[in-house]
Structure 1
């Protein structure tokens, strides 16, 4: 479990990025971290990964504080950046060498993930394209079996078939002891994986909710004049598309992209 309490971060006095962020991220969930450009998604992930330190506030995995940057913390939290620049090593040696830093690293899983991505394991990393190196990095990240996996734009550089393989591997590797956070602008690449949303807007965390809760609270209407309370309206080819308050506890279909637009463009803050 990741606990974030009263987190504040700024690159300078004039450039505040995150303000008073508090939330709890629980194992057994895949969180989608969404936000407009410059809202601090990568910054938040780097803070959780202990690559950056908060100006104030605290981030903990269980009883381990990110600010201590202990070996135990890094054994539990893995960060996959938005681009993969890997050392010039044989592919198999890369896994066996760097896997020594993670107590639950599984080399057999690493090679299985590489095979799923059709990566020739006998090659060296320098012989691979940037997209292929990305696949190697993803395979290694999953094989480390850390409790928390933070992924920043993980589908960058992947072709269409590889994005499908990525989703299958994420689903296969996920269990009730792990917690995944995926930051992406390509929501269609990951929306099938997610069961919870985090949305950053204007330096605040404005949404921290499961998709089930959102599906029970809101629904999409294409009626000209919906009877329910209209939260947000978007003009589409067919006419108008409304986000309305659901008046029942039934689960409605969820369109994550439309929900994101509603929460970040509504005239007034939306109460969850």
Structure 2
């Protein structure tokens, strides 16, 4: 099954170059090309894709602005001529970073890595057998705690002790006051288990405990010395849940 994607790139020749690589690989289906963030977001509001090829510097909003506005988490491959965005790319947990001009071999390496991840996920058995993201956390709706698998042991965490969760690609970091734990899972899986009275997703990479919020300044939430960004696509929900007037 091919990976569906869109190309968000303001330079037509660069987009054409990338489209040819996609077609040559026979692994990627290009659903569209957009010259700016606004048009790309309008498309993504109507249709979801598996992957975004995303430039950073474009007229108007940047590629990182687009990531802040997403309400779901597709795979992201940044395509840029500058290395200075590498740290930001790491912060946004992008799946790969293709520095222009890149070769077909380098492009194919990035795509094959994503394809292998898809195959592993598709072939994973139900959670009754080998470890998988669904197995690393066990909880029931009427409990005030959960167990996460970290460092080869099951750790019991009280939900109210959790400050926030952060996506780290195929892992999730649970942050409590003074300590953090990393478990093999996805933020989407955690969202299905935790979103409710005290937890809210505020960014494509973060879920926070409402009870632990100290204050909000601009687009940043402060929780006991920690800072969590609010994504543009989550602002309305955050405002409604927190009764922001």
With normalisation by structure 1, the TM-score equals 0.27
With normalisation by structure 2, the TM-score equals 0.29
Larger Rg: 1
Larger RCO (CA within 8 A; separation ≥ 6) = 1
